[in-house]
Amino acid sequence: MHMVAYESSSSVNDIQLITRVVAGDAAAERELYETYVDRIYRLTFRLAGDDELARDFTQATFIRAFEKIGSFRGESSLSTWLHSIGLSVTLNGLRKTKRQRNREAPIEEGITVGSTRVEAEPDLKERLARAIDSLADKYRTVFVMHDVEGYTHEEISGTLNIPVGTSKSHLFQARSKLRVMLADFAPEWVS
Amino acid sequence: MTEDKFEEFLKKTAQSYNAPPARVPRDEMWAAIQAKRSVGPRVVYGGGATYVVGQRRFGTKVWLGAAAAAMLLVATGVGIGRWSASPSTPNVASSNLPVPGVVVPNPDAGTPGSVTPAATVPQSGGGTSRGSVDRTFSTKAPAVASNNTQQRRPELPNTNLSATGPSSAYQLTAVQHLSEAEALLTSFRTRSSADQQMDAQLGAWARQLLSNTRLLLDSPVANDPQRRPLLEDLELVLVQIVQLSPGSTPQDRELIEKTLQQDHVMTRLRTAIPAGAQRGS
């Protein structure tokens, strides 16, 4: 509810800002960048887990946005549109570089031995990170956006161009898989 | 543990997942964005890493593999050529050289019919080593030329390379190299002006070809009066491409384009390749 109010109040400013950017106003470009760069960078960093990649993805997001902003129709908020570009760039980049941490292999073992408690268990946070890494992109993205970065399902829906119900379903699936993967920490979670 | 508690645990614990730094490098990223945008209108997704979207026709491995194969081929060819031209294989590089004591000086010495092929005429001192024969050539050939009224190029034999083994090896190597160079220059001219990743790949490829070009310049292939200038011009262009840094300006690229156009490098390359292929086949 709060986010809806935020978007509607910012849309007027967005339109003005976009108009100035399209007109070639360098200061407006910088203003647009300063307004959204933090959220874009945080999200790309969460997904990439690497500063260099996050910077690259963020830069590519804004370069593409400035190039395409003339075709922005205003059908969604500027924030949603920018996040759409950011996620597209980030997920495509991660898929192509295959540099998503080397923690994927060990998680396979974690899944298979989920029912047995490991005595010398590594740090829980590290284990959770591995589990999140092992999620499919569509689940991991929704989980990170909602549970980690605090995006609403409406925002996720607009950004990923999926129905709100699908966003909720993906989040449910993500949590369920994590619960199974982390079962050896607390077997009572699996019921 | 209930579902609510698990969700609460997840949200709390997951805050440490890929936690971004407190300070967002705004200024650094803005500077990088401005630099990339100033390069050209085309967008490079992902800032020059390996995730350039939709512009790359071949992967890095393909380019590097092609470059490595080309280098191996050229090195092998040059090696075979040098080995074949060693003392164990006489009368190889001298098929058209005037042989002292064999060619009778006459005013028509510059015409093809005036030179008797060394292979068909018994040489004086046939029992001597190949090395001694070569030394004789190198010291006496100018004297033969001085006996003639026409100027004669000492290294002219390499213009006719199709008849002998080592010459064919050199020839094949040269043709392959020129083909590779043509492919590189074509790729260079057709690439996106903002594709820095492509520039880096082309730079690596050009570096390989530059080494091979210099090898060929030191080989008998470069004795060809037409081929040597071509190789020298090619060397210049390759040096320019190698020196192209990711942050190079469009003017740098224009300079290379001008070199290519003014020296007609592409035309000369394309002319040399089919002719070389015919001789080499």
pLDDT tens-digit map of A8-23: 444 678 888 899 999 9
Residues B163, B88: Cα–Cα separation, whole Å = 18
Q: Which long-range contacts (CB under 8 A, 24 or more apart) does A183-188 make?
A: A183/A114, A183/A115, A184/A113, A184/A114, A184/A115, A184/A116, A184/A117, A184/A118, A184/A121, A185/A121, A185/A124, A185/A127, A186/B1, A187/A115, A187/A117, A188/B1
Give pLDDT tens digits for A131-155. 999 999 999 999 999 999 999 999 9
- Angle of helix A164-181 versus helix A104-112 axis, rounded to 10: 70
Looking up tokens 């491995």 gives B61
**Is B47's CB within 8 Å of A132's CB?**
no
Does the domain at A101-191 match CATH 1.10.10.10? Answer given as: yes
A189 confidence band (pLDDT: 50, 70, 90): low
Is this model's pTM higher than 0.80 or not? no
**Is B24's CB within 8 Å of A42's CB?**
yes
Q: Which of B102-116, B170-184, B253-267 has the lowest mean pLDDT?
A: B102-116
Does the domain at A1-100 match CATH 1.10.1740.10? Answer given as: yes
Are A147 and A41 contacting, i.e. CB atoms less than 8 angstroms apart? no
Tokens of residue A82, six digits: 């920018």
Indicate the average pLDDT of chain B.
66
Looking up tokens 């129709």 gives A73
Residue B203 is predicted with a pLDDT of 81
Residue B30 is predicted with a pLDDT of 96
Residues B216, B24: Cα–Cα separation, whole Å = 52
Give pLDDT tens digits for B67-91. 778 778 877 877 777 777 655 444 4
Torsion of CA B45, B51, B55, B56, to 10 degrees: 160
Q: Residue B28, exposed/middle/buried by CB under 10 A (0-12, 13-18, 19+)? A: exposed
Are A11 and A79 contacting, i.e. CB atoms less than 8 angstroms apart? no
Distance of CA A161 to the CA centre of its chain: 13
Q: Average the pLDDT over B183-198 and give the result.
A: 75
Among candidates B7, B20, B30 on the partner chain, residue whose Cβ is nearest the Cβ of A42: B20
Report H helices in A49-115. 51-68, 78-97, 104-112
Residues B12, B22: Cα–Cα separation, whole Å = 18
Q: Which residues from chain B sit within 8 angstroms of residue A42, using beta carbons?
A: 20, 24
Higher pLDDT, B62 or B117: B62
Q: Which string of b and e fits A93-123 if b means at least 16 CB within 10 Å?
A: bbebbebbeebeeebeebeeebeeeeeeeee
Among candidates B1, B24, B51 on the partner chain, residue whose Cβ is nearest the Cβ of A97: B51
Residue B10 is predicted with a pLDDT of 86
Residue B37 is predicted with a pLDDT of 86
Task: Answer whether residue B265 shows pLDDT above 90.
Answer: no
Contacts of B153 (CB under 8 A, 6+ apart): B225
B176 confidence band (pLDDT: 50, 70, 90): confident
Residues of A (15-74) whose Cβ lies below 8 Å from B: 30, 33-34, 37-38, 41-42, 45-49, 51, 53-60, 62-64, 66-67
Residue B264 is predicted with a pLDDT of 82
Query: CB B224: neighbour CB atoms within 10 A?
Result: 22
Query: CB A186: neighbour CB atoms within 10 A?
Result: 15
B152 confidence band (pLDDT: 50, 70, 90): very low
**Is B51's CB within 8 Å of A58's CB?**
no
Residue A62 is predicted with a pLDDT of 96
**Is B7's CB within 8 Å of A178's CB?**
no
Q: Which domains are delineated in chain B?
A: 66-85+162-280 (1.20.1420), 98-153 (no CATH)
Q: Which of A65-74, A75-84, B52-61, B72-81 has the lowest mean pLDDT?
A: B52-61
